[in-house]
Structure 1
Amino acid sequence: MNAKAEVAAPLTGMRLLLAGAVLALTNFMVVLDTTIANVSVPHIAGSLGISASQGTWIITSYAVAEAVCVPLTGWLAGRFGAVRTFTFGMIGFGIFSLLCGVSTSLGMLVACRIGQGLCGGPLMPLSQTLLMRIFKPEQRAQAMGVWAMTTVTAPILGPILGGVISDTWSWHWIFFINLPVAALCAFGATRLLGSSETKTEKLRIDGVGLALMLLWIGALQIMLDLGREHDWFSDPTIVALAVIAAVGLVVFLAWELTEDQPIVDLRVFRHRGFTVAVASLSFAFATFFASAVIIPQWLQTSMGYTATYAGYATAFTGVAAVIMSPIVAKLSSKFDPRALVCFGILWLGMTSLLRVHWNSGADFWTLALPQLLQGFGMPFFFIPLTTLALGAVEPEETASAAGVMSFLRTMAGAIGTSISATMWDNSGRIARSEIVSKLNTQGTSEALAAQGFSVDQIRAVIAQLVDKEAMALATTHIFLISAVVFAFAAMIIWLTPRPTRTVEMGAAH
């Protein structure tokens, strides 16, 4: 291939505005797809004839595929060019969105979500990279600010759009709406970004590392998703998956630490500040993301909420986050980032404790208020934590460290969702057994019989009531555990040293 000049001339005028809009819209769409399906899981489960816990595979499969593809972004851009990779990723994202929408079985939908995640994974970092190329140096901070706002606002609209679309049309349209956006952005990239293409060369890829990563991550996620239904380690299949995941991880670590050009640069973990910051991020994000999946399911399956109102209740988190983000960005330069991170994560733990008092009779604002309050703490968690992690590594390692951090954050969200969904279901079963063992139905049965209910109707009413209370108890149990995990994540951040250098916005592109 003929290499193009590495330094591209920044765009100007209307061409710059349109190209910037294409990149921001792309990032918005990819982030939107991480949350738009959360409130639609009950609709999808009912349509495909699967359980709600199986429905979470739709979320975890996308997250895992996206995480796996993020470390490949640098190689893909270097081998094929950033603009070309971006364009083909967008086209693939649109095609798999179409296939998701026409899926008729869980297997087909999960497979297409994996394809969607693989194509969408590189789009977020590439949109950041291309923004830095098309804007002049003095305009980049402002451009990255707009880019960051799409990352923050997409999770707000995701649950709302998912709920409204599922209730008004059908769940299929949460995927179909990607088609015009993907077509527009692919066309725009082709027409507007050609002059911003990066140079290409025949780069070697760490094929063994990639194969090992796919092996252990795939085995681990399948084990977590299938474990509950197969009675965990009493099933030889689950045991085999656990062994494959464990052995695959050990071999992967050994290979990557000795490889000259690793698929994931694990050497950045030699910096204590980075290791501790990423550990804190992983625990906190896994807990946060799992709650964003469980709450909409509980509201719809037990509390009688429509997908639309479940979306309204959960979207309040993003509203407060948007308000606080610019404030926290300014505070980050004035206060110890460790103190800000500790405060932010403890705040998330406090909002989890507020949810411990939820019950089956809670009204809308009782459920929505903790979501709103949670949003105030999120920027304190994300923004300074990025400064701590990337400020702990060498300047030339910043891009690698950012990729590792993004990979582990996304994987933590998927793993946390799988574990929490299993714990939630198990807690519901235990709570139901305890309620039934102490239940005295005589008075209730007589009162219902007096109103003309048949014996079968009475049993159905009591069973429904017991299930509703059991799931409420299970939900509060999950949030009690979440508060403990948040407290742990907040405390370990003090093990990291204060960063010695400032990380500029966009430094990891």
Structure 2
Amino acid sequence: MLFVAALMLAAANFIAVLNMTIANVAVPNIAGALGAAASQGTWVITSFAVGEAITVPLTGWFAARFGAVRVFVVSMVLFGIFSILCGLSTSIGMLVVMRVFQGLSGGPLMPLSQTLMLRIFPKDKAGTAIGIWSMTTLIAPVVGPILGGWLVDDFTWNWVFLINAPIAIGFGLGAWKMLKHYQDAPVRNPFDKVGLVLLLVWVVALQLVLDEGKNLDWFASSQIVALTVIAVVGFAAFLIWELHEKHPVVDLRVFRHRGFNASVITVSVAYAAFFGVSVLTPLWLQSFMGYTATDAGLATAWTGVTALFVAPIVANSKRDPRALVFFGVLWMALVTLWRTVANSDMAFWDIAIPLAVMGFALPFFFIPTSGIALGSVEEREMDSAAGLMNFLRTLSGAFATSVVTTVWANQTTRNHAELVGLADRDGSVTQMLTQSGTPPEVATQVVDYLIVSQSGMLSTNQVMTGIAVMFFIAAAIIWIAPKPTRTIEPGAGGH
């Protein structure tokens, strides 16, 4: 029974994280099928992220007000219902609205699946609980593009959303039967309406800046400048209000714990770096190496495969968790440095093997940091702490995606401009091609293709260098946390 309950909770977290990436490869198909422009299609991704970013930090308040189990079950069922409505959408406008509601209902699934996992597992198996939950968080973004590519290629875009329904609704109803005796007594605190409005303002504004900045040339656009001002002012007002509100909608007081702060910063920086690698690798493979979306996903999937083998060992380790985190993040930094010498002649396994080696390190950073963070706060703060940790991790992933893709594109353009002046200066390559019967205009195109390919390869290696530096920084930050003095109680969260 414990295994079945754990499977339901892990599946909830898996589908919530999966839906951040599963639609990415389907955007062109969705836009074409619904008669929308490609730029409009990206709102399918943005709308889900906005909805999720709003409710993740509210999880603590919802759990205290209505009970963690009840909120979890309702969120699961609603997630399934809105997934069906996404799949049945007949216009881009309808799909975007349904994706917002899908994100709103999916937000609480991540933190609540984590805290409920700790409640149902015995105290001596708390590490195993965190290990199971952490693996779903790391593997889902890798599986998303593979599954999305396969569904789009072999079926239709609708199944990218419909596939969630039986899992969400079925496991949601089953979870109520199995977990309802873990339901805690609700605390009827007043609702912080001002805090919620301020949260909505700055989160939506920031998400729009991150998603639309590249398309609008960032701060050259008055729209992006205005949204940035709104986000900054809204965030400042939100902080001031929540810290002085007696019953805040988001309990920011958990940041008084040094162990929680260090863990959250480490997770945010390291996850941003990891997400940057996860976004950049398939983008490079599809843009410059001739890989299909499915093939690119298969190459990156090896990161998740190898992580599965190490997770049980790390989850049950009795060593200082700070040392485990340092080792794992340092490992990822070194593997990323290894990838900075990649070239365009690499075969599938030349790309997959470094990713598989990186996978061994993932449990070392993700599992212990979650344990340090949640073990540093009081038990009544567990739900709020889990919500805030997942919110900042989600935000760091969105930020990394925007920054990495922008820097990568800019570096590719810059490298191309430099290589044009260096490549084939004496015209020997072009001359060789024309002498072999290649038309002059085709010979020029061939040379330019080679320059474009190498520009992309160089920019990929350059961005990987920056990502490696982020990993090194994250490895150092974890030592700010004090050595943990207590383990996580199985019933922690929401009491």
Do these two structures clear the TM 0.5 threshold for a shared fold by scoring above it? yes
**What is the CA-CA distance between 1:128 and the residue it aligns to?**
4.9
**Are 1:286 and 2:272 an aligned pair?**
yes
**What is the CA-CA distance between 1:395 and the residue it aligns to?**
4.0
Q: Distance in 2 between matches of 1:400 and 1:385?
A: 16
The answer to whether the 8 A contact 1:39-1:293 is kept is no
**Are 1:394 and 2:347 an aligned pair?**
no
Q: Give SS of 1:33's match.
A: helix
Query: Is the deviation greater in 265-274 or in 405-414?
Result: 265-274
**Are 1:261 and 2:247 an aligned pair?**
yes
- Residues 204-259 of structure 1: CA deviation (Å, up to 9, x unaligned): 22111111112112212212222233232222212111111111111111111111
The answer to whether the 8 A contact 2:31-2:38 is kept is yes
Q: Distance in 2 between matches of 1:147 and 1:222?
A: 29
Q: 1:135 to 1:225 in 2, by over 3 A?
A: closer
What does 1:97-176 align with in structure 2 at a 5 Å threshold? 97-101=83-87, 110-128=96-114, 150-151=136-137, 154-155=140-141, 157-176=143-162
Query: Is the deviation greater in 398-407 or in 74-83?
Result: 74-83
- Residues 254-276 of structure 1: CA deviation (Å, up to 9, x unaligned): 11111111122222222223222
- Residues 61-82 of structure 1: CA deviation (Å, up to 9, x unaligned): 5344323212222433454555
**Structure 1 portions without partners, runs of 5+:** 1-12
Paired position in structure 2 for 1:9: none
Paired position in structure 2 for 1:216: 202
Task: Report the residue type matching 2:364 in the other structure.
Answer: F
**Are 1:430 and 2:420 an aligned pair?**
no
Query: Is the deviation greater in 451-460 or in 211-220?
Result: 451-460
Q: Give SS of 2:165's match.
A: helix
Q: 1:376 to 1:133 in 2, by over 3 A?
A: closer
**Are 1:50 and 2:38 an aligned pair?**
yes
What does 1:384-463 align with in structure 2 at a 5 Å threshold? 384-440=368-424, 442-450=427-435, 452-463=437-448
Q: 1:199 to 1:269 in 2, by over 3 A?
A: closer
Paired position in structure 2 for 1:182: 168
Q: Distance in 1 between matches of 2:337 and 2:57?
A: 36
Q: 1:383 to 1:181 in 2, by over 3 A?
A: closer
**Are 1:242 and 2:228 an aligned pair?**
yes
Task: Report the residue type matching 2:223 in the other structure.
Answer: T
**Are 1:503 and 2:488 an aligned pair?**
yes
Give me the TM-score of the superposition, normalised by structure 1.
0.84
Q: Give SS of 2:472's match.
A: helix
Q: Distance in 2 between matches of 1:342 and 1:21?
A: 29
Q: Distance in 2 between matches of 1:450 and 1:107?
A: 55
**Structure 2 portions without partners, runs of 5+:** none
Which residue of 469, 475, 489 corresponds with 2:474?
A: 489
Paired position in structure 2 for 1:4: none
**What is the CA-CA distance between 1:483 and the residue it aligns to?**
0.6
The answer to whether the 8 A contact 1:39-1:297 is kept is no
Q: 1:396 to 1:177 in 2, by over 3 A?
A: closer
Which residue of 466, 469, 472 corresponds with 2:457?
A: 472
Q: Give SS of 1:294's match.
A: helix
Q: 1:352 to 1:477 in 2, by over 3 A?
A: same
Paired position in structure 2 for 1:229: 215
What does 1:214-363 align with in structure 2 at a 5 Å threshold? 214-331=200-317, 333-334=318-319, 336-363=320-347
Q: Distance in 1 between matches of 2:335 and 2:369?
A: 20
Q: Distance in 1 between matches of 2:230 and 2:128?
A: 47
Q: 1:505 to 1:446 in 2, by over 3 A?
A: farther
Q: 1:187 to 1:281 in 2, by over 3 A?
A: closer
Paired position in structure 2 for 1:94: 80
Task: Report the residue type matching 2:347 in the other structure.
Answer: D
Q: Distance in 2 between matches of 1:121 and 1:110?
A: 16
Q: 1:247 to 1:55 in 2, by over 3 A?
A: same
The answer to whether the 8 A contact 1:63-1:413 is kept is no
Q: Give SS of 2:248's match.
A: coil
Q: Distance in 1 between matches of 2:190 and 2:237?
A: 20
**What is the CA-CA distance between 1:378 and the residue it aligns to?**
1.0
Q: Distance in 2 between matches of 1:140 and 1:491?
A: 26
The answer to whether the 8 A contact 1:290-1:417 is kept is yes
Query: Is the deviation greater in 481-490 or in 89-98?
Result: 89-98
**What is the CA-CA distance between 1:454 and the residue it aligns to?**
4.2
**What is the CA-CA distance between 1:377 and the residue it aligns to?**
1.0
**What is the CA-CA distance between 1:402 and the residue it aligns to?**
2.3
Which residue of 181, 205, 222 corresponds with 2:191?
A: 205
Q: Distance in 1 between matches of 2:175 and 2:11?
A: 11
Task: Report the residue type matching 2:361 in the other structure.
Answer: G
Q: CA RMSD in A?
A: 3.3
Q: Distance in 2 between matches of 1:21 and 1:484?
A: 36
**What is the CA-CA distance between 1:156 and the residue it aligns to?**
5.2
**Are 1:374 and 2:358 an aligned pair?**
yes
The answer to whether the 8 A contact 1:152-1:322 is kept is no
Q: Distance in 2 between matches of 1:425 and 1:327?
A: 39
Which residue of 65, 70, 91 corresponds with 2:51?
A: 65
**What is the CA-CA distance between 1:33 and the residue it aligns to?**
2.3
